[in-house]
Amino acid sequence: MNKLERPITTQNVLDAFARVLDSQYEKGIKKYGTTIDQAKDSDYDWNLMALEESADLMKYLIKENARLRKEKTTINTLCSEAYEIAKSKGWHDEERETGTLLALIHSEVSEALEADRKGDKEHFAEEIADIFIRGFDLCGLKGINLEYHILKKMEYNKSRTYKHGGKAY
């Protein structure tokens, strides 16, 4: 019979479970000198053990999710951070016109162009970063959900025609 071709995620789940079960088996032998197959029903309350393990599973998942949320740097967290840093340096003490903030993004684009003209790759990368930092700051200030808009626009771009219907550039 041909080996069942499983979707990759299903196969990964099976592989991960097989590893955990093998490791549990070895641990059981080392710790208790027996396996779950040999354990007597009279010695264990399987139902209670299952409930306790389920409760622990929930605790582990909640802890892990909290850890991932803390570690995760998203585009929107970059927006908040860029805004907070600019604010702490006094750049938002007075209300600034949107036009000024957009012009400042533009000034970073010009700086990137100059760096590229000089062939300075390190400086070029720094100025590209400045473009985004100023963009993030603007979105932080205006409460724009940049991540949502980027993903939405990229999805739309995927659906557009070749060279967006014959534009020259």
Residues found near Mg ion in the complex (CB under 5 A): 108, 111, 127, 130
Least distance from Mg ion to the Cβ atom of residue 137, Å: 13
Specify the residue, 108 or 137, whose C-beta has the smaller distance to Mg ion: 108
Residue with the shortest CB distance to Mg ion: 130
Specify the residue, 116 or 130, whose C-beta has the smaller distance to Mg ion: 130
Geometric angle at alpha carbon 122, from 119 and 124, rounded to 5°? 65
Least distance from Mg ion to the Cβ atom of residue 115, Å: 9
Q: Residues 6 or more apart from 25 whose CB is under 8 A from it? A: 35
The dihedral through the CA atoms of 51, 56, 57, 63 has a sign that is positive
Q: Residues 6 or more apart from 14 whose CB is under 8 A from it? A: 6
Least distance from Mg ion to the Cβ atom of residue 156, Å: 30
Specify the residue, 83 or 134, whose C-beta has the smaller distance to Mg ion: 134
Specify the residue, 115 or 139, whose C-beta has the smaller distance to Mg ion: 115
**How many of the other CB atoms lie within 10 Å of CB of 112?**
19
Least distance from Mg ion to the Cβ atom of residue 85, Å: 15
Specify the residue, 127 or 137, whose C-beta has the smaller distance to Mg ion: 127
Report in angstroms the alpha-carbon separations of 21 from 57, 64, 83, 145.
16, 21, 48, 43
Least distance from Mg ion to the Cβ atom of residue 83, Å: 17
Q: Residues 6 or more apart from 61 whose CB is under 8 A from it? A: none
